[in-house]
Structure 1
Amino acid sequence: MSQHAWLAMFYAAYFGFVGLYSPFLGPYLKTLGHSLDVIALSLGMMQLMRIVGPFAWGWLSDHTANRVRWIRAGAFGGFLCSVLVFLNQQSAMALVLLILLLNLNISGLVPMSDTHCMEICRGDNGWYGKIRLFGSLGFVAAVLLFGWIANVWGYASYPFLACLSLLIAFGAAMQFSPAPSEPLSTALTGSASGGLNRTSVGTGFRQLLIPQPMPTLWLASFFMILAHGVFYAYFSLYLLEHHYTELTVGWLWAFGVLCEVAFFALQTRFFDWLSLSTWLCIGYAACAVRFAVTALFPDWLWMMVFAQGLHALTFAAHHTATIAWLRVHLPGRLVVRGQAMYATIAYGLGGSAGTVVGRSLWGWGGPSTAFGAASLAGLIALFYGLKLKRQEAVLQ
């Protein structure tokens, strides 16, 4: 098998695990008799580790210039922890600790594997999208397949399938060939950043945080994923409040991911049309529209279908444009740490903030208020996205 095929298998297996973990961990723990407090704390470990984990893995990857080693280590550590979590009976405290360790191990897999995939694809967004879409397919397959299994046979197979997913991801990672890394001297003194000079601001955190347009990108990413934090936490409950059936809810989720898959498959031609920063702005604008529609027209099924279709822009286009933008604008030695910083600021801090803000506004002004705030967050992200384009024009 080619490196592209092994990467596709890795993405499918890892996001298959996510498709099992995010929707079904809570119900599974409930079947074991755990309290709602324990379930809530366990589910919170993923967001918590997204704040601290990706950058730690990214630092190891960049510092040793051997990210394949750390992808394998994270995948194996995740598999080992999943065995301890799912195939043993333990106290509530031990369960939460083991789930924390599980998420710590897998928290860096996406930024490291995305960077490795971009290197294997030599920066070709089209090839990257075709490989990355297997992650989306794995997620959809896991959600739909296990939803059917649980409905017919219950949760008895859940531990086995969760562990098997991470074992397959580890097996695929063992077949990765190291991609050529940028020499240390060029990483520190030169730049692959399309002309943005960073030598005057040091390395590491300073290069990632201080020079423009980096702070602008981080602010845009924070508000973009804050909006999606509301969506991921409350969309299903929102639809159920408006009397959709569980089957309809499931298919709306699946439709959004299938639109994401379609964009990944076709993005080669799309990214040839416009610049990366323009695609970022398109994603931010689509986010504002998507959640405004969700807030205003929850009882109109066709409008919910339209809103979910925008997932192709708010996730797939935005994700690829961000990953490619960081690869272009950061020195090679800092690329993984840049991806990790993105995961930390956007998905860790932004996603957590979205969950908290959504819950507060749901109680204060009702469900539509929460999604109205998500739309506003998309508009704030668009403001910073347009600022990013102006800063790039000045610096080039």
Structure 2
Amino acid sequence: MIPQVRLSGFYLFYFAFLGALVPYWSLYLGSFGFGAQTVGVLMGMLHATRILAPSLWGWLADRSGRRMLIVRLGACCAWLVFALLFWAETPLYIALVTLGFSFFWNAILAQFEVVTLRHLGDEKNRYSRIRVWGSIGFIGAVIGTGWLLDWLDIRTLPLVLLGLLVLIWLNTLIVGQRPEEVPQESAPVSVGAVMRQPQVIAFFAICFLVQFGHGPYYSFFSPMLESLGHDRSVIGMLWALGVIAEVVLFIWMHSVLERWSYRAIMLVSLWLSVLRWTLTALFPDQMLVLAFAQVLHAASFGSLHIIGIALVQHYFPPRTQGRGQAFFSSLGFGAGGFLGSVAAGYVWAWGGGMPAFMMSALACLVAIVLATLWIYPAKVQQNPA
């Protein structure tokens, strides 16, 4: 019998931590009096370890076959390192602690996904019923933490985050692992031949630009709303609105994929991303407009993420798909997220929210040009050796 409750619990706590962290971490950093440039760099630290950590931990898990042990070790080290934050007040100290805990935290999800899929076996259609608890956890955490921080000082945020990290670790202790064989050495497969294809180069450039465009959002959307006089509970509800729209999209995405091509979905989603960031840049004080822009998170993140995963499966032959997914995470969420947050800090310090979010819109426009010229999945050769 599949341990569905235990598997669901991991996603619930993992994404609850994300829901408590991303919307409010910039507010916590701002409580130390750090400027926008420093906040942008420190927010970028959350993404920086995604450049290397998933590939390194994936290699260790594949070589050893002891995937759950590695997940437990990573979850334990994440909360132990995060606990050092209670003594951190300087940017350098906070940056080092952030790099330390995120190195472990960013790496465990991919390996737990493998564990979940192996538990499901031939019942992979039940994956969505397990993964949806991650979205529930995010929505609950982002609303609950916002409400809590209306009553408590922002400096209590690390206590909430530490509690959630400990719950992630405790949940890993009750999840077992199905036996898996340690892979034998085999003839090397050339990933370079795949990566040199113009479509693939353009695809990863688009992934980078999409996540780069989210930099101002992840780093400064909450401070912008707070500066406009909104309570943290309202901030939490706006963040939750975006994730709710994403969940609704996931429910209907199967039908969308049956009717539309990957190329068409990507282009429409990129144009909607331009609309989202433009509205956020020009009308930050108009709540109805801002709420509509948040609904477009279903396109700027949700559908583009699904198409990204699908295109990795399309471009990379089976024996190279693990490395393809690692590049997808490293170049998009890692490099794109890190540099987007850093650039947002400098642009925000120079001109505020309008130029920062217009920078996001411009990044998506460049991605549209690349997609229009190069993304034709039907023309990709699947055997590029």
TM-score normalized with structure 1 length: 0.79
Secondary structure (helix, strand or coil) at the match of 1:137 reads: helix
Paired position in structure 2 for 1:134: 133
- 1:376 equivalent to 2:362? Answer yes
- Note the alpha carbon deviations across 1:312-353, whole angstroms, 9 max, x for none: 122222222222332444344543433232222112221222
Deviation at 1:308, TM superposition (A): 0.7
Deviates more, 1:9-18 or 1:75-84: 75-84
Task: Give the Cα separation in 2 of the matches to 1:181 and 1:280.
Answer: 37
Letter of the aligned partner of 1:272 in structure 2?
Answer: E
Letter of the aligned partner of 1:163 in structure 2?
Answer: L
Deviation at 1:162, TM superposition (A): 2.5
Task: Give the Cα separation in 1 of the matches to 2:324 and 2:299.
Answer: 22
Paired position in structure 1 for 2:100: 101
Task: Give the Cα separation in 2 of the matches to 1:259 and 1:22.
Answer: 18
Deviates more, 1:246-255 or 1:109-118: 109-118
- 1:259 equivalent to 2:259? Answer no
Paired position in structure 1 for 2:331: 345
Deviation at 1:134, TM superposition (A): 2.1
Task: Give the Cα separation in 2 of the matches to 1:215 and 1:165.
Answer: 38
Letter of the aligned partner of 1:260 in structure 2?
Answer: E
Paired position in structure 2 for 1:46: 46
Letter of the aligned partner of 1:280 in structure 2?
Answer: M
- 1:145 equivalent to 2:144? Answer yes
Deviation at 1:226, TM superposition (A): 0.9
- Note the alpha carbon deviations across 1:215-262, whole angstroms, 9 max, x for none: 222101001111111221222334455565554433222211111122
Paired position in structure 2 for 1:196: none
Are the counterparts in 2 of residues 13 and 169 from structure 1 also a CA contact under 8 Å? yes
Which contiguous aligned blocks of 4+ residues in structure 1 show a shift greater than 6 angstroms?
A: 122-126, 179-183
Task: Give the Cα separation in 1 of the matches to 2:182 and 2:262.
Answer: 23
Aligned length, in residue pairs:
378
- Note the alpha carbon deviations across 1:65-117, whole angstroms, 9 max, x for none: 5544433332222133234445xx46856665343221111122233344555
Task: Give the Cα separation in 1 of the matches to 2:181 and 2:317.
Answer: 11
Paired position in structure 2 for 1:193: none
Paired position in structure 2 for 1:55: 55
Are the counterparts in 2 of residues 133 and 265 from structure 1 also a CA contact under 8 Å? no
Task: Give the Cα separation in 1 of the matches to 2:301 and 2:143.
Answer: 20
Deviates more, 1:375-384 or 1:9-18: 375-384
- Note the alpha carbon deviations across 1:274-316, whole angstroms, 9 max, x for none: 3444433333222122112222333432222211111112222
Paired position in structure 1 for 2:202: 216
Task: Give the Cα separation in 1 of the matches to 2:154 and 2:346.
Answer: 32
Task: Give the Cα separation in 2 of the matches to 1:282 and 1:338.
Answer: 24
2:221 alignment partner, one of 224, 235, 239: 235
Are the counterparts in 2 of residues 221 and 342 from structure 1 also a CA contact under 8 Å? yes
Letter of the aligned partner of 2:220 in structure 1?
Answer: Y
2:307 alignment partner, one of 314, 321, 324: 321
1:213 and 1:301, CA in 2 relative to 1: closer, same or farther beyond 3 A? Answer: same
Deviates more, 1:5-14 or 1:264-273: 264-273
Task: Give the Cα separation in 1 of the matches to 2:94 and 2:225.
Answer: 31
Output aligned runs, 1:277-292, within 5 Å: 277-292=263-278
- Note the alpha carbon deviations across 1:18-61, whole angstroms, 9 max, x for none: 22333444655787xx6638984754431322233223223333
Secondary structure (helix, strand or coil) at the match of 2:57 reads: helix
1:21 and 1:278, CA in 2 relative to 1: closer, same or farther beyond 3 A? Answer: same
Paired position in structure 1 for 2:81: 81
1:24 and 1:314, CA in 2 relative to 1: closer, same or farther beyond 3 A? Answer: closer
Are the counterparts in 1 of residues 11 and 131 from structure 2 also a CA contact under 8 Å? yes
**Unpaired segments ≥5 residues, structure 1:** 190-198
1:284 and 1:182, CA in 2 relative to 1: closer, same or farther beyond 3 A? Answer: farther
Task: Give the Cα separation in 1 of the matches to 2:280 and 2:214.
Answer: 12
**How high is the sequence identity, in percent, across the aligned residues?**
27
Task: Give the Cα separation in 1 of the matches to 2:335 and 2:351.
Answer: 23
Letter of the aligned partner of 1:112 in structure 2?
Answer: Q
Secondary structure (helix, strand or coil) at the match of 1:107 reads: helix
TM-score normalized with structure 2 length: 0.81
1:160 and 1:360, CA in 2 relative to 1: closer, same or farther beyond 3 A? Answer: closer
